[in-house]
Amino acid sequence: MRKYRKDYQPSSFLVEQVDLRVELDPTDTVVTAAMQVHRNPEAPAGDGVLVLDGDELELRAVRLDGVALSTERFEADSQSLRIPDVPERFELETEVVIHPDENTKLMGLYTSNEIFCTQCEAEGFRRITYYLDRPDVMARFTTRIEADCAKYPVLLSNGNRVDSGDLPGGRHWVQWEDPFRKPSYLFALVAGDLSCHRGSFRTASGREVALEIWVEPENIDKCEHALASLRAAMKWDEDTYGLEYDLDIYMIVAVNDFNMGAMENKGLNIFNSKYVLAKPSTATDDDYEGIESVVAHEYFHNWTGNRVTCRDWFQLTLKEGLTVFRDQEFSADMTSRAVKRIQDVTRLRTTQFAEDAGPLAHPIRPESYIEMNNFYTATVYEKGAEVVRLYQTLLGKEGFRKGLRRYLETHDGSAVTCDDFREAMAQANGRDLQQLERWYLQAGTPVVRAHGDWDESAREYRLTLSQSQRVFGEQTRPLPLPIPIRVGLLGSDGKDLPGASRTLELTESEQTFTFEGITERPVVSLARGFSAPIRLVVERTPAELAFLMAHDSDSFNRWEAGQDLSKRVLLGLNEDVLAGRPLDLGEDLVRAFRNVLLDPALDGSIKSLTLTLPSEEVLAQELESVDPDALHRARAFATRQLAAALRDEWTAAYRDNARGSDAIEKAEIDRRRIKNRALRYLTSLDESDTTARARARVRGAAGQAAEPGGG
Ligand code: SER
Ligand code: ZN
């Protein structure tokens, strides 16, 4: 059944407290749930029928205020349990049987390598017990887990471990209590023969938090990086936003079978092993950075997602866009801001722009869905993060911080909407942010066209910006979006003209912005730092692109100019391949590459990224119809030509960066990246000595051979 955002109704009933008892067994697990339920005073009166969600549950018993209900007092089917004529306030106890071993959907409670684990987002809790399985029903949970001692010595759930004991028949139990109210999608349970890598963190206010990473015993030596990442994330959130962790214990469990990358269950994150486990002999720099960013992402959800959650699943970007933005900012501070921004924008362009241009395009806050699990998309996550970034670009870092704190203080402990977030940002900064809602309502990547004129006699530079959006079938015409465009003007010496660097706010279909006191013809640098998720169209000569690539003070745009120049050359080569003409790379790109390669001011990571040709996916987005073979040949030709023309420079870059340590620190990562980039160009020549060197490199690899963005 299709659900619509506009049809939201508060739940007729709320749950104060849930006490779960889970008797674990791989084939037949018995779940007993005692719930304190009451009518929601904020909801319309309704028909007084309590309707709980369920999925593949076998109902054994229902008790209302301690009295077993006969079967004519309720209706149960595969999707729901309906009980008419319930009192204002009551205790409901249900008993169901589930089959974790047969649960191949990996939603609810399932087994993976003899480990029991759960995934409840978005609607998996209803596969564990009958419940009001929606995020705006927030309750306190206690969980008693019972299991076989030998097979499942470790029993984990949310919150604090408060008691434990033995049972007859070689079984044992552990009692967990989570003091924070939470929606059911944040419930978690894990049981198995797991080992723990321990650490601790002292919060800014001096509380000691136990950090525990639980893995299969053979992986116990691969957890240190995840632990270090967690500590760094906890510290960063305190320093950046004043946000402290709130429980005495924080656990991460690594399991092999996991649909999502990881899950932010309160106090008990569950991760796909690949985002936890790493050791120097097998992990690449990208693996390490991936772990750091996912560990941080799940940690940051503790505030943006858990303490303040989503009213309904249409609001998913409220927690995901915001938390992706937070993990991006964290990684930018931990590694290199410029490199991180380039990587994130590249990912956005390859995955999300394609989504926005295709048949599955949807706004970051969808209007309807049939299956919520299909809405964990690049649009909700990555474009959502760009929309959150718009607030920071418009309000500044300090304004954004104030807004975020206002949002969390106002809504702590509740389930809210994207509109509540915008309102908190607006109030904290005394700004009207109404027009920003359009970013939540309209799908498609906006196109911004720019045209500049320098008026020598008036000493003015006039920049005209216009925007257009994708029109979807019979829907109403899209309205202009508010689009911040960060701009700088470069003089002939390559420096920014003083006073000309600004953030322009494009809010109409077309606007002209005037820069005064401009005494020479400038080269404009537009949308610095990728200041909005748009496609920018601007006329540039190859000479201008080469100039920006050499001088722009904004490192993102410097990279971008290089990509645009490469794109132009590669698309020209593609046409030559299609027309059967002889191929010639020309001089522009070689000269620009040489400048970057020899520039002592650029670090190895930025160099490596700037000297990476745009991928075939990105090139294909520029073409009406794509011949993948021709595109591949064009790109391979350019790679070989750049390798041959700069053979001495690549060889020197390789040699100068060949030796160092395997440390996971910026200088060493920079060194490895440029070395590997150089080697990659050299191997494209397919000559015996460079290829032998590459082989030796792979054999001797301490695993650091990979790099961002691929080939
Ligand atoms: N909520 C989870 C996450 O984003 C699953 O996608 O981390
Ligand atoms: Zn998330």
Task: Look at residue 700 in the predicted model and tell me its pLDDT.
Answer: 67
Instruction: Return the closest-CA partner of residue 544 out of 571, 523, 566, 572.
Output: 523
- As a whole number, mean pLDDT of residues 637-664 equals 94
Query: DSSP secondary-structure letter at 509?
Result: S
**Best residue for ligand 1 mutational test, from 119, 252, 260 (most atoms within 8 Å of Cβ):** 260
Structure-block tokens of residue 478 = 């899209």
550-599 residue pLDDT tens: 899 999 999 999 999 999 999 999 999 999 999 999 998 999 999 999 99
Percent of the chain with pLDDT over 90: 90
Using CA atoms, how far apart are residues 505 and 633, in angstroms rounded to an integer? 42
Ligand number with the minimum distance to the CA of 262? 1
Local confidence band at 706 (pLDDT 50, 70, 90 cut-offs)? very low
136-176 residue pLDDT tens: 999 999 999 999 999 999 999 999 999 999 999 999 999 99
Q: How far does the centroid of ligand 2 lie from the alpha carbon of residue 252, in Å?
A: 15
692-704 residue pLDDT tens: 877 777 666 654 4
- As a whole number, mean pLDDT of residues 342-354 equals 95
Q: How far does the centroid of ligand 2 lie from the alpha carbon of residue 320, in Å?
A: 5
Task: Look at residue 701 in the predicted model and tell me its pLDDT.
Answer: 61
Q: Which residues line ligand 1 (CB under 6 A)?
A: 121, 260, 262-264, 297-298, 320, 376
51-89 residue pLDDT tens: 999 999 999 999 999 999 999 999 998 799 999 999 999
Helix (H) or strand (E) holding 268: strand 268-272
282-311 residue pLDDT tens: 899 999 999 999 999 999 999 999 999 999
Contact yes or no for 484/456 (Cβ under 8 A): no
**Best residue for ligand 1 mutational test, from 125, 263, 291 (most atoms within 8 Å of Cβ):** 263
Using CA atoms, how far apart are residues 47 and 33, in angstroms rounded to an integer? 24
- As a whole number, mean pLDDT of residues 364-378 equals 96
**Best residue for ligand 1 mutational test, from 264, 265, 300 (most atoms within 8 Å of Cβ):** 264
Task: Look at residue 259 in the predicted model and tell me its pLDDT.
Answer: 85
Task: Look at residue 569 in the predicted model and tell me its pLDDT.
Answer: 96
> Does residue 707 surpass a pLDDT of 60?
no
Task: Look at residue 698 in the predicted model and tell me its pLDDT.
Answer: 65
Q: Whose structure tokens read 């924008």?
A: 345
Structure pTM?
0.95
State in Å, rounded, how far the first CA of the chain is from the last one.
Answer: 44
Local confidence band at 480 (pLDDT 50, 70, 90 cut-offs)? very high
Local confidence band at 190 (pLDDT 50, 70, 90 cut-offs)? very high
Q: How far does the centroid of ligand 1 lie from the alpha carbon of residue 263, in Å?
A: 5
- The CA-CA-CA angle for residues 187, 193, 196, to 5°, reads 75
Ligand 1 atom nearest to CA at 262: 7
Active-site annotation, residues: 298
Structure-block tokens of residue 237 = 């959130």
Q: Beta strand pairing status for 29-39 and 89-98?
A: antiparallel
pLDDT, mean over the chain: 95
Please report how the helices 555-579 and 337-347 are oriented relative to each other, as an axis angle in degrees rounded to 10: 40
Query: CA 546 → CA 334, 450, 540, 552, distances in Å?
Result: 30, 19, 10, 10
Ligand number with the minimum distance to the CA of 304? 2
> Does residue 711 surpass a pLDDT of 60?
no
Query: CA 426 → CA 108, 400, 412, 438, distances in Å?
Result: 39, 10, 18, 15
**Amino acid letter, 623:** L
Ligand 1 atom nearest to CA at 376: 6
Ligand number with the minimum distance to the CA of 322? 2
Query: CA 63 → CA 96, 351, 426, distances in Å?
Result: 12, 50, 48
> Does residue 634 surpass a pLDDT of 90?
yes
Contact yes or no for 278/296 (Cβ under 8 A): no
Task: Look at residue 476 in the predicted model and tell me its pLDDT.
Answer: 82
